[in-house]
Structure 1
Amino acid sequence: MKYLIFVFMLLGCANSRGDDHYINLQGDSFVLVTDKYFSRELSFNSLPTDKAFYMTYWGASPTAELRYGEQSVPIFYRGNDSEKLYLQLNNQVKTLTFHIQGKPVRYSTRYIQQQRGKVTADIPEVYELTNIVLALADKFHQTNYGRRVQGDYYQAMMKWFTPFKAHPIFTALGDVDYYSLVENGPAYEFMNDKIVKSEVYNSFRAKDAIAMQRELLENFAKISDFRSFYQQHQPYYSSLLKQFENDTQPKRIWSWLESEFPAEYQSYKVFFSPLGSGKHSARMFTHNGFKESIMFISGPNRYESGVDSPATKAIKLTRTLFTEIDHAYVNPISDNYINEINDALPELKNWYKGGGYNKPYLVFNEYMTWSVFLLYALESYSDEEYLMIKHHMEDFMVNKRGFYKFKAFNKELTRIYKKRSQEQTIEDLYEPIIKWLKTH
């Protein structure tokens, strides 16, 4: 990297741009670090005139740093939804705009009283609207974003909404980012024909496609009579929610995880759609002294086809839920070992095929979250069921997802788990498993 010399000034309140940063560059390259762990080298010359960055809240308010030599400019939430940084090089100025999700949630005293100790699964109305729009859009969106394109519900949805595919919402969302559209759905609700912000959630992603296209979504919902479709399918939604509860036993998972990890949450919230499949994520929100673990996962109907027994389908659904839930427990411990994880995985190509998990921290957490589920399965299922899900997960992780050494990793974590003392928890296994990584 070519290091730079910057001269920067934080302008005072007398300037109309307030706390924005102004930097005179002496060279083309600089480094942007987000959330302390993820760095990338950027080039001034290849930047557009105004480059946007979206900083999503996962378990804490997001941060970034622009680094240059031994110095840095911090970017963090200071009460504004966006911060700007102005770069100048050779009389040309470019703007970096950071959209910061600083306050994603508002937990009122009433909400806390209602939700404390509860696991709530839901198919929110606006969330399902966005899933329908995405499933209707075209084959690219259905395939790339894992739409479930089979079953009676899908067929009923297509019959109802296909006559409205000429609506301008589909042009406006031609290059839509799945997460910015669908995952922000639970942050909105209907008030008559209007889509309004939820009283609880501000957003789930810093980039919010619903906010950008709210009027078109409202219009599509109105002319297609979406709300009638949603109401007519309430019995089906209710059956899926009941099946989810029966199959996964989420409070049992909750109790087991908090016996093995120091993190504690007062509420679990789970969102899924009958049209969703494969795109999962989790975050941890804290406000007003209340901590909530939130997951976006596939619904039970993901496993309704095929020859698996009901018990096997239930175990696979439980795995889907568990490997999102336990990020809320695994990741905070991994944060304490970030340097050791980086040292242990200097070459990711031997551990991961490449793609979205392109940092040692991310790769390690995927290995750990999936293997921790198998520790839970070891204690929760029969020997036959355990061996079935173990074989299924090892095959899926190695051959489908490209985490090449998952089988060996899981074997070692299971070995040290079985050998641990009575007082030890999974938190105590981090040091020995990271040590093992270094030699494999």
Structure 2
Amino acid sequence: MKHAFFALAIFTGLRAHAAEHYIALEKPEFELITDRFFSQALNFNSLAETKNVNLTYWGSIPQAEIRYNASSLLVRAQENELQRVHLQLEQKVKTIVFNMQTQPADYDQEYIQMHEGKVSIETPEVYELNNIVLALADKYHQTHYRMHSKGRYYADVLTWFSPFKNHPIFRTLNEINYYSLVENGPAYTFDGDTIARSAVYKGFRADDAIEDNKALLEDFARKSDFRKFYQQHRGYYSQLSEVFELGAQPKTIWQWLESHFPARYQSYRIFFSPLGPGNNSSRMFDDNDFKESIMFVSAPNRYESEHEASSTQWMKFTRSFFTEIDHTYVNPISDQYIDDINAAFIDLAPWYKGGGYNKPYLVFNEYMTWSIFSLYAREHYSAEDYAFSKSYIERFMVEKRGFYKFKGFNEELIRLYINRPNDDKITDLYPKMISWIRNNVDH
């Protein structure tokens, strides 16, 4: 049967929906495309015997496509999240294992009634346990998670947990990805001394380091009396949530974004830790006709400074929140213009220094999400605070993040926004901004 499928795959050129498949390569080169937009040229000869690909649910069920021999194999998660594609070249077979996250939330009527129309700002218990473990690893085991290591709370963490700095959990951390450990935290709760699955969330990353290290995390929590520490600091977590809500005004941002974009959400869930390193992310979950926008962001204490006015601190953590949450509005519109965006960015080098955003789609979304904050600030801040925020994000984007043409992009979007017809939304400005990119290739 395997050889019969090989013949079919080679000669039909049809797309197949894969659960577990074999494909025969005529040459070593093939292409892997994930989530429709992200292409990777691969070579069978340099491929590991088993290549693992984790595909996270960001707003829809992930998928992958393998293009080979003028044919295409479409890999979609169906009943099984784990799917294998076996590639054969001559007599050798190698495997790509796709771990696909599907249906990551289960919203029942009780949850919907409790959260509809609300912004929830939280530091969940298992999530904070994981942040503490990584902060201790940075301090005592020379890891590089870049956890926030200033302030009274961090000092409390060291005082309480340093006697347990040689716990076996720390020997596993060299192999643990930050996101797979920390961001899956809200998908778990404590049941006594046991870490149990949440009744609502199944996970926030396809790769789940908590499941693989649950026994060690439970043991560390029990021996260090973590749950007592967490209870003693609940007041501080609540205080940070109140500061965030007062300073960032997330409900105002929510309403403003939905006045300009077609996306609609019934709930905002915001997770942060006082120890967070600034690794933000957002995603959209949809279940039972209930859509929720979920984000991991920096806590307000990360922006505390004796040398800055409170209004400046608030602006900075508002920007941090805004430029994460607006991805859930900006990205779906960018999806509609993906071919135009790719054509406009002929060469990314003049636009971006290189790094984690080496795709036209990703670069465009970073430019757009940050620039839209300027539009929001213009309408909600005083003239003085708006001028400061505009200058601040332009310097930050150009000098620190390496998005070299952001200042010009920002000024053009502001100009178009000010002069737009009354009925036009930000979404109507996409074609003009893409055209501006195309016309500013050489300068």
- Residue 63 of structure 1 is matched in structure 2 by 63
Taking the aligned partners of 1:142 and 1:414, their CA distance within structure 2 comes to 44
Shift of the 284–378 alpha-carbon distance from structure 1 to 2, 3 Å rule, reads same
Could you tell me whether the CA contact under 8 Å between 1:145 and 1:178 is conserved in 2? yes
Taking the aligned partners of 1:144 and 1:40, their CA distance within structure 2 comes to 27
- Residue 426 of structure 2 is matched in structure 1 by 426
- Residue 170 of structure 1 is matched in structure 2 by 170
* TM-score of the two chains, using structure 1 as the length reference: 0.95
- Residue 15 of structure 1 is matched in structure 2 by none
Residue 263 (structure 2) pairs with residue 282 (structure 1): no
Taking the aligned partners of 2:434 and 2:145, their CA distance within structure 1 comes to 33
- Residue 291 of structure 2 is matched in structure 1 by 291
Could you tell me whether the CA contact under 8 Å between 1:145 and 1:279 is conserved in 2? no
- Residue 202 of structure 1 is matched in structure 2 by 202
Taking the aligned partners of 1:91 and 1:119, their CA distance within structure 2 comes to 57
SS in 2 for 1:349: coil
Amino acid at match of 2:58: W
SS in 1 for 2:54: strand
Could you tell me whether the CA contact under 8 Å between 2:19 and 2:76 is conserved in 1? no
Amino acid at match of 1:212: D
SS in 1 for 2:121: strand
Could you tell me whether the CA contact under 8 Å between 2:143 and 2:174 is conserved in 1? no
Taking the aligned partners of 1:172 and 1:56, their CA distance within structure 2 comes to 23
User: What is the number of residues matched between the two proteins?
Assistant: 428
Could you give the per-residue CA deviations for residues 67-124 of structure 1, whole angstroms, max 9, x where no partner exists?
0143210111111121101111231111111000011111111111111100000000
Shift of the 177–30 alpha-carbon distance from structure 1 to 2, 3 Å rule, reads same
Amino acid at match of 1:241: S
CA RMSD for the aligned pairs? Answer: 1.5
Taking the aligned partners of 1:433 and 1:382, their CA distance within structure 2 comes to 26
Following superposition, the deviation at residue 45 of structure 1 comes to 1.4
Shift of the 258–216 alpha-carbon distance from structure 1 to 2, 3 Å rule, reads same
Taking the aligned partners of 1:100 and 1:306, their CA distance within structure 2 comes to 45
Shift of the 141–263 alpha-carbon distance from structure 1 to 2, 3 Å rule, reads farther
- Residue 3 of structure 1 is matched in structure 2 by none
Taking the aligned partners of 2:210 and 2:385, their CA distance within structure 1 comes to 42
5+ residue gaps, structure 2, are 1-5, 11-17
- Residue 85 of structure 2 is matched in structure 1 by 85
Amino acid at match of 1:411: E
Following superposition, the deviation at residue 416 of structure 1 comes to 0.4
| Mapping of residues 238-249 of structure 1, within 5 Å | 238-249=238-249
Taking the aligned partners of 1:297 and 1:366, their CA distance within structure 2 comes to 16
SS in 1 for 2:222: helix
Q: How many percent identity over aligned positions?
A: 56
Taking the aligned partners of 1:399 and 1:7, their CA distance within structure 2 comes to 54
Could you tell me whether the CA contact under 8 Å between 1:82 and 1:100 is conserved in 2? yes
Taking the aligned partners of 1:85 and 1:8, their CA distance within structure 2 comes to 15
Following superposition, the deviation at residue 311 of structure 1 comes to 1.1
Could you tell me whether the CA contact under 8 Å between 2:19 and 2:78 is conserved in 1? no
Following superposition, the deviation at residue 398 of structure 1 comes to 0.2
- Residue 335 of structure 1 is matched in structure 2 by 335
- Residue 374 of structure 1 is matched in structure 2 by 374
- Residue 189 of structure 2 is matched in structure 1 by 189
Following superposition, the deviation at residue 421 of structure 1 comes to 0.6
- Residue 438 of structure 2 is matched in structure 1 by 438
Taking the aligned partners of 1:146 and 1:380, their CA distance within structure 2 comes to 33
Q: Which moved more, 1:85-94 or 1:259-268?
A: 85-94
- Residue 229 of structure 1 is matched in structure 2 by 229
Shift of the 358–139 alpha-carbon distance from structure 1 to 2, 3 Å rule, reads farther
Could you tell me whether the CA contact under 8 Å between 2:25 and 2:69 is conserved in 1? no
Shift of the 180–142 alpha-carbon distance from structure 1 to 2, 3 Å rule, reads farther
Taking the aligned partners of 2:436 and 2:98, their CA distance within structure 1 comes to 39
Following superposition, the deviation at residue 305 of structure 1 comes to 2.1
Taking the aligned partners of 2:378 and 2:141, their CA distance within structure 1 comes to 37
Could you tell me whether the CA contact under 8 Å between 2:19 and 2:80 is conserved in 1? no
Amino acid at match of 1:214: K
Shift of the 329–178 alpha-carbon distance from structure 1 to 2, 3 Å rule, reads same
Could you give the per-residue CA deviations for residues 365-423 of structure 1, whole angstroms, max 9, x where no partner exists?
00000000110000000110001111111110000000000000000000000010110
Taking the aligned partners of 1:96 and 1:8, their CA distance within structure 2 comes to 20
Could you tell me whether the CA contact under 8 Å between 1:135 and 1:142 is conserved in 2? no
Residue 324 (structure 2) pairs with residue 324 (structure 1): yes
* TM-score of the two chains, using structure 2 as the length reference: 0.94
Shift of the 40–139 alpha-carbon distance from structure 1 to 2, 3 Å rule, reads farther
SS in 1 for 2:64: strand
Amino acid at match of 2:389: I
